[in-house]
């Protein structure tokens, strides 16, 4: 019987597109499962989940372009939406000799996997989407994904809190203000009072996000529309802007019918119909002055958007399972590992 290691192995892997750090666990001849991290994150976040996989699976988790220990010279062309990331994953699979894999995405990583299923459907055995970004993108759009303004003002790099960016540049690990990364994670990414046992490692990987006008938060342009800034053309946050999603429903048209597990926390504050990171929500509660009102700039209905896309996927013959964990925030695999594993492992076993 193949012996499964008790720690992950880290290696640098160079593909035709990107050199980055990749974590591995499980037998080399196991069925591959690729884990894709979210924003302000890195492969580190997945380590315990990787090690808990059932016997016979090979866990693989890369640091995405613009995150962690990925090549800092590799920038995200935001005008391609999620395609730089999904093409990087396909190239990594080529470099590792992986034809197809089960795939697990969290937050931004989930948005990457909608694109992966659209562009590389033959390489996906199944999708487990953990609090995924809506296929329509993030910020400043209506239910069908149409930007609230033609330039998609209110989304992209200009929507990121500049105080957080300054503290990230300083690599500040403190907790003196609400804008310190430690407090952002503890207040929003998991549901208080939960704090992960490995908070220091998780904080380190969050602060390893590549920062700058070409990275995070990316560039931005001034706008005559509220709140005065619109997405630029570089960096992962601009890549999430709805204006850069060429075909949000592409995965429903690719011919793919692989099973999808949509698993989320009931109390997620990040990807929600009233996300506290969406300027439509913040404007509606008076936190950002000058909000033009719900007719012009409503809070983005992220859950409703994902549900509509998955309903279309089901209508095309795809199978979708939905799991909502009570008393859980934006990181179910960290907050409720037993409940997460029960749903995820059962899903894998159903193939």
Judged against a pLDDT cut of 80, whether residue 19 lies above it is answered with yes
Percent of the chain with pLDDT over 90: 98
* Across 331-345, average pLDDT: 98
In whole angstroms, give the CA distance from residue 118 to residue 248. 9
Q: Give the DSSP H or E segment for 102.
A: strand 101-106
Judged against a pLDDT cut of 60, whether residue 1 lies above it is answered with no
Judged against a pLDDT cut of 90, whether residue 7 lies above it is answered with no
47, 205 Cβ separation under 8 angstroms: no
Question: Across the strands, what pairs with 216?
Answer: 211
The string of pLDDT tens digits covering residues 282-300 is 999 999 999 999 999 999 9
143, 281 Cβ separation under 8 angstroms: no
Q: Give the DSSP H or E segment for 147.
A: none
The string of pLDDT tens digits covering residues 198-236 is 999 999 999 999 999 999 999 999 999 999 999 999 999
25, 9 Cβ separation under 8 angstroms: yes
Q: At what angle do helices 108-119 and 83-96 cross, to 10 degrees?
A: 70
* Across 159-188, average pLDDT: 97
For residue 237, give the 3-state DSSP assignment: helix
* Across 129-146, average pLDDT: 97
- List the structure tokens of 87: 């093409």
The confidence band for 6, taking pLDDT boundaries of 50, 70 and 90, is low
Question: Across the strands, what pairs with 78?
Answer: none
- List the structure tokens of 319: 């199978």
Judged against a pLDDT cut of 70, whether residue 4 lies above it is answered with no
The string of pLDDT tens digits covering residues 260-280 is 999 999 999 999 999 999 999
The confidence band for 3, taking pLDDT boundaries of 50, 70 and 90, is very low
- List the structure tokens of 64: 């995405």
Reference 140, options 127, 125, 156, 129; nearest CA is 156
- List the structure tokens of 5: 């290691």
Question: Which domains are delineated in the chain?
Answer: 9-144+247-349 (3.40.50.1820)
Mean pLDDT of the chain: 97
Judged against a pLDDT cut of 70, whether residue 240 lies above it is answered with yes
According to DSSP, the β-strands at 9-14 and 57-62 are unpaired
The string of pLDDT tens digits covering residues 26-45 is 999 999 999 999 999 999 99
- List the structure tokens of 191: 């549901």
For residue 207, give the 3-state DSSP assignment: helix
- List the structure tokens of 55: 């016997």
């Amino acid at each position: 019987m193949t012996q499964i290691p008790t720690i992950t192995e880290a290696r640098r892997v160079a593909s035709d597109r990107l050199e980055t750090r990749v974590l591995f666990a499980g037998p080399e001849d196991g069925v591959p499962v690729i884990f894709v991290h979210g924003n302000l994150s890195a492969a580190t976040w997945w380590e315990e989940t990787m090690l808990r996989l059932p016997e016979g699976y090979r866990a693989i988790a890369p640091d995405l372009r613009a995150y962690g220990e990925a090549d800092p010279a590799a920038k995200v062309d935001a005008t391609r939406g999620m395609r730089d990331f999904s093409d990087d994953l396909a190239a990594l699979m080529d470099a590792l000799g992986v034809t197809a894999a089960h795939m697990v995405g969290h937050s931004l990583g989930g948005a990457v996997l909608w694109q992966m299923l659209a562009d590389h459907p033959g390489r996906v055995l199944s999708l487990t989407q953990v609090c995924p970004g809506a296929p329509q993108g993030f910020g400043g759009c209506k239910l069908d994904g149409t930007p609230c303004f033609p330039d998609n003002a209110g989304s992209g790099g200009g929507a990121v809190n500049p105080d957080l960016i300054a503290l990230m540049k300083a690599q500040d690990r403190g907790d003196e203000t609400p804008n310190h990364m430690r407090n952002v994670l503890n207040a929003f990414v998991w549901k208080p009072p939960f704090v992960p046992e490995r908070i220091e490692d998780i904080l380190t990987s969050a602060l390893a996000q590549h920062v700058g006008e070409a990275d995070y938060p990316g560039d931005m342009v001034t706008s005559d529309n509220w709140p005065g800034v619109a997405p630029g053309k570089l960096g992962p946050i601009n890549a999430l802007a709805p204006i850069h999603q060429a075909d949000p429903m592409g995965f429903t048209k690719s011919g793919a019918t692989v099973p999808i597990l949509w698993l989320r926390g009931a109390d997620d504050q990040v990807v929600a119909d009233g996300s506290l990171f969406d300027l439509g929500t913040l404007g509606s509660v008076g936190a950002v002055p000058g909000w033009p009102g719900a007719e012009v700039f409503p809070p983005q209905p992220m859950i409703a958007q994902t549900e509509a896309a998955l309903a279309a996927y089901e209508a095309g013959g795809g199978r979708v399972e939905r799991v909502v964990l009570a008393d859980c925030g934006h990181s179910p695999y960290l907050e409720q590992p037993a409940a997460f594993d029960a749903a995820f492992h059962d899903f894998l076993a159903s193939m």
